[in-house]
Amino acid sequence: MSKTVAEMTTEELKEMVDELIDAKLTALLGDPDESLGLRESLHERLEAQQAAVAQGERGEPLDAVIKRLGLT
């Protein structure tokens, strides 16, 4: 259910304005973390997950997900 500004508390209005400003700044300036690299531990974990999926140990093929969800 949506509220009008008049129905919002001061804290709710402040939170909404903060979110709008953050979204607008990100849209205008881009993601400040975009150029940062991944920690080595995270990089290794992602590679391990990718290998597990390639070996059929994890995950579900995209085509199967699309069919299961009826997105074709």
On the question of pLDDT at 20 being above 70, the answer is yes
CB 12 within 8 A of CB 3: yes
As a whole number of angstroms, the distance between CA 44 and CA 55 comes to 17
CB 50 within 8 A of CB 56: no
On the question of pLDDT at 1 being above 60, the answer is no
Q: Residues 44-64: pLDDT tens digits?
A: 999 998 898 888 787 778 889
Compute the chain's Rg from CA coordinates.
Answer: 21
On the question of pLDDT at 34 being above 90, the answer is no
As a whole number of angstroms, the distance between CA 31 and CA 18 comes to 16
On the question of pLDDT at 18 being above 60, the answer is yes
Enumerate helices (H) and strands (E) in the chain, giving the number of each.
3, 0
